[in-house]
Amino acid sequence: MPLLTRTLSLPTLTPSARRATGGSRGQDGTVQARRRRRKPRLITGLDIGTTKVCAIIGSVDEDGRITVLGMGAAPSRGVRRGAVININETVDAVMSAYGQAHELAHIHPREVYVGIAGDHISGVNLEGTTEIANPNAGVDRRDCMRARQRALKMILPNDVEILHTFTREYAVNERGGITDPIGQFGQRLQVKMHVVTGSVSAGNNIFRCVRKAGLRTSGVVLQSVASSLSVLTEREKELGVVLVDIGGGTSDIAIFQGGVLQSISEIAMGGDIITQDVAKMLRCSPHDAENLKKKFGHAVPLEVDIDERIELRAPTPGAKRVTHSRRDLAEIIEARVEEILLGVQKQIQRSGCADRIYAGVVLTGGTALLEGIGGVAERLLGYPCHIGRPQNMLGMSGVVSTPIYSTAVGLIRWAVQEGESAQREGWLVRKIKKFLDIYG
């Protein structure tokens, strides 16, 4: 029998007896303990992509554990290569995806974090050096701040602002590889940073769509950075890993080494170019081509039976159905997958980290579900490869544990970590918020 039941079965004590036995103090302690428990933090992750919009509503307890309460997805027709081209269609997609998530969760979180991507995103390595103010006392936080400020003295075009800043390492008296220089003795402090920039106008369009959908954005996060939080382990980041998030319109690349983000880059190619080629070569609609890709697609033609056939819908009522070889479909897909991965290879070589990728390549995003794509990546890139899925969640984890929801889940993790190792709210976010507060 539980202890609580036995206690309730005892005779009622007088106030003096309760004070003597310490009952009042115990009861007060329980009340205080309950008051100390924080309410779960409610957060929405909103991934606005080229082919779909995904929304996930989650609650976060005081230990940082995420419970998925609701999820939704809707076709996206107003975005191309990560940039909004039709505000009304994008608003409709956001409202549909968020509405599905709300129906399951029955809550409206105040915090909404939105992903951003596109060929307007770029990353650059910067360095800054400063004299240590008090060499006898060692490096303090003000020295670190001065070094970072000097590194960030870069001239940007009018429509470009800083989205994120990541500290790669510090050096004290030219001794590098330092992650935390506080307290170290020396005369000169150097910092190496990776800075992510984006287009203000592209950000404005995303924020406006979210606002018109009735939501208020708490922050904007680079999609590849968000995805890395949901699919990569700390060990992979320490050993050196390449994350490739292949979406509909773009492929986002993030390279980690020594537990720190070293490089980000974007390729203006994604799953859409595969669909377009299938539609063109097999003479079918983009809708049918997308369904063929998902249901019968394979990135390695030799692994497909040469005699296997696939059937298309009749082009017009009463017409005969058209059949094609599944291997022909695989050859079309293979050519475009190779083109995407060769672009990834160039970015890895350009980053200067190619010889330190000991944990290999992790593919995520909707196109990562394409059968055989991991083998093509291993052959072309020369690293071990596996498919990354969101990890360590409660609630509807089985439903969202797919590469399709990597960014949406990662946005919630970003909010939980509050931009750990990065600037909490970039200049781009602040400028966009100010613009929208003024002009709506």
Assign a CATH topology to domain 122-197: Dna Ligase; domain 1 (3.30.1490)
pLDDT tens digits for range 315-342: 667 667 788 899 999 999 999 999 999 9
Contact 223, 252 (CB under 8 A): yes
Q: Is the pLDDT of residue 32 over 70?
A: no
Structure confidence at residue 398 (pLDDT): 81
Taking the C-alpha atoms of residue 348 and residue 359, their distance in angstroms, rounded to an integer, is 14
Taking the C-alpha atoms of residue 286 and residue 372, their distance in angstroms, rounded to an integer, is 22
Confidence of residue 118 (pLDDT cuts 50, 70, 90): confident
Q: For 16-36, give the DSSP string.
A: HHHHHHTHHHHHHHHHHHHHH
What number of CA atoms fall less than 13 Å from residue 200's CA on the CB side? 16
Q: Judging by DSSP bridges, how do beta strands 385-387 and 361-364 pair with one another?
A: parallel
Structure confidence at residue 87 (pLDDT): 94
Please provide residue 404's backbone torsions phi and psi, each rounded to the nearest 5 degrees: -60, -35
Confidence of residue 4 (pLDDT cuts 50, 70, 90): very low
Taking the C-alpha atoms of residue 148 and residue 165, their distance in angstroms, rounded to an integer, is 10
Structure confidence at residue 434 (pLDDT): 52
**Which residues, in sequence order, are CB contacts of 199 under 8 Å at separation 6+?**
118, 120, 159, 160
Per mean pLDDT, which range of 24-28, 86-90, 128-132 is the poorest? 24-28
Q: Is the pLDDT of residue 29 over 60?
A: no
Region(s) of the chain under CATH 3.30.420.40: 234-389
Q: Is the pLDDT of residue 295 over 60?
A: yes
Percent of the chain with pLDDT over 70: 85
Structure confidence at residue 194 (pLDDT): 93
Choose among 244, 255, 246: nearest CA to 352.
255
Cα separation values, 421 from 179, 193, 259, Å: 10, 11, 11
- pTM exceeds 0.75 for this model: yes
Contact 200, 160 (CB under 8 A): yes
Q: Is the pLDDT of residue 8 over 80?
A: no
Q: For 279-317, give the DSSP string.
A: HHHHT--HHHHHHHHHHH-BS-GGGS-TT-EEEEPPSST
Q: Which letter does DSSP use for residue 421 in this model?
A: T
Structure confidence at residue 225 (pLDDT): 94
Whole-number mean pLDDT of the chain? 85
Q: Is the pLDDT of residue 12 over 60?
A: no
Q: Is the pLDDT of residue 351 over 60?
A: yes
What number of CA atoms fall less than 13 Å from residue 16's CA on the CB side? 0
pLDDT tens digits for range 177-232: 898 999 999 999 999 999 999 999 999 999 999 999 999 888 899 999 999 999 99
Q: Is the pLDDT of residue 58 over 90?
A: yes
Rounded to a whole number of angstroms, the CA Rg of the chain reads 26
Assign a CATH topology to domain 234-389: Nucleotidyltransferase; domain 5 (3.30.420)
Percent of the chain with pLDDT over 90: 63
Taking the C-alpha atoms of residue 179 and residue 171, their distance in angstroms, rounded to an integer, is 9
Tokens found for residue 204: 């404005």
Region(s) of the chain under CATH 3.30.1490.110: 122-197
